[in-house]
Structure formats: structure tokens, C-alpha cells
Amino acid sequence: AQSVTQPDIHITVSEGASLELRCNYSYGATPYLFWYVQSPGQGLQLLLKYFSGDTLVQGIKGFEAEFKRSQSSFNLRKPSVHWSDAAEYFCAVALFYNQGGKLIFGQGTELSVKP
Amino acid sequence: EAGVAQSPRYKIIEKRQSVAFWCNPISGHATLYWYQQILGQGPKLLIQFQNNGVVDDSQLPKDRFSAERLKGVDSTLKIQPAKLEDSAVYLCASSPGAGMEAFFGQGTRLTVV
């Protein structure tokens, strides 16, 4: 079955440290891939997306993600985390079928940032 | 550009009552999604519209949930009757096309007591 897996439920990093959030997908073809961030009480905000081309994509707020076809992964990275990055992060995959496409989401990774 | 608007932001109802949520997508977006997000989980797709037609409602509990998108613009999601397990945040999102990036509203937090 097509799915999105975020192996880490909760991650804590120190402010200024680097960050990597993992995302794996199960899908027959090369999917469209997304990372979203959700702050408490808010909707989801798009950080970045991958459709095709360069496998390293840049997003907002200093985030980047790398698509690795061989590993079916799309991991999110940031070189230096700020306290304001504490939030829930969701990986999403666009699945395409006869009538179009839809977005399905992983379970999310909660990021805590310690001073 | 105006974002996705949802109302109400919060709703508390008793079980077996009915409730309705409203969503106004970004102008020109053909695709509209309703997601249910239970605390600590990722959003779960309930229903997807393409213009005013339903293209996916495979995870919508049709015995109690219904949704419509009149004239391919605004949408409403209704629950009747509500159960305790329906307590969640209901997120509306719109997209320029199916499978493209989705833009989310702030959600409606429903508490069923």
C-alpha cells in the first residue's frame, strides 16, 4: 500500500545545532513530495516541495530537503536550528490515479529546541 | 492573496448533536480537501473535490459525515450525529490542481463531550 513514514515521533535538538528529519515513502512511481510545518493551533504551512529535477530543494526559513530515489527518502535538513523552529513537521506525498491526485501525510515529527 | 478561510475556529458539542464547518478556498483553486487531524497524528484525508465534483471520499464515514462544494467554490462539512471519537481538528485545504501543493486554513477544533 502507498504510504508515508516518519520514523521519529519526537526529536530534541539544541539551538544552533543541525537538524535532519526523516521521511520515507512507499510508491511505485516518482512522487511529488512536500514538507509542511505546523505550529500549535495553526494550520499547515508549506516549507518546500519536490516535483522533478534537482534532487536538493531549498525552502523557506532556511530549510532544505534531498530526494533520494534509491532510498525512497525525502529528508528535511537545516544547518542551524532556531528556537522558533519548534513545531510539528509533516512529510506528504502526492499520489496520482486516474481521476487526478491527492496528498497523504505522514504521522509527523515533533521538534523541540533546547537553549 | 487571501488564504483559505475556515469557520468556526472552535466548536464544542454534545455527542449525538450535529455540527457544520465552512471553508472558503483560495480563489481559482480547483481542488479542495477536507482533512481530519486527531491529536498527535498526521492529517487524514476525508474527502477531495475537483471543482464541485467528489473525486475521493474513500475515508469519509458516510453514515455520519457529509460534504458539499456548491458552485465549485465554498464547501461545508457536516457531522450528524457526532460521536466522541470525532473530536479532532478539521482542516480545509485548497490547491491549484490535484496533487499540487495544498494551502491550509487554520482549522476548526471540534470537541465532542
Q: Are A62 and A76 in contact (CB under 8 A)?
A: no
User: DSSP strand E in B30-107: where?
Assistant: 31-37, 44-50, 53-56, 65-68, 75-79, 88-95, 103-104
Q: Rounded to an integer, what distance in angstroms lies between the CA atom of residue B29 and that of residue B49?
A: 11
Model confidence at A1: pLDDT above 70: no
The CA distance from B105 to the nearest CA of chain A, in Å, is 6
Q: Can you give the pLDDT at residue B1?
A: 63
Mean pLDDT value across residues B62-82 = 95
Structural domain count, chain A: 1
Q: Can you give the pLDDT at residue A41?
A: 82
The CA distance from A18 to the nearest CA of chain B, in Å, is 24
Q: Are A88 and A76 in contact (CB under 8 A)?
A: no
Reported confidence tier of residue A27, pLDDT bands at 50, 70, 90: confident
Sorted by where each starts, the structural domains of chain B and their CATH numbers stand as 5-112 (2.60.40.10)
Model confidence at A85: pLDDT above 90: yes
Q: Rounded to an integer, what distance in angstroms lies between the CA atom of residue B97 and that of residue B101?
A: 8
The CA distance from A108 to the nearest CA of chain B, in Å, is 6
Work out the mean pLDDT of chain B and round it to a whole number: 94
Q: Chain B partners of A103 at a C-beta cutoff of 8 Å?
A: 33, 45, 93, 95, 99, 102
| Domain span at A18 | 3-114
A102·B45 Cβ contact <8 A? yes
Strand partners, B21: B77
Task: Look up the CATH number of the domain holding residue A56.
Answer: 2.60.40.10
Q: Chain B partners of A99 at a C-beta cutoff of 8 Å?
A: 50, 55-56, 98
Q: Are B13 and B75 in contact (CB under 8 A)?
A: no
Q: Which of B43, B106, B107 sits opposite A105 (nearest CB)?
A: B43
State the Rg of chain A over Cα: 14
Interface of A with B (CB under 8 A): 4, 6, 32, 34, 36, 41-46, 49, 90, 94-96, 99-108
Cα–chain center distance at A12: 16
Q: Chain A partners of B106 at a C-beta cutoff of 8 Å?
A: 41-43
Condensed to tens digits (0 to 9), the pLDDT of residues B34-54 reads 999 999 899 999 999 998 899
Residue of B nearest to A100 (CA): B98
Q: Can you give the pLDDT at residue B34?
A: 97
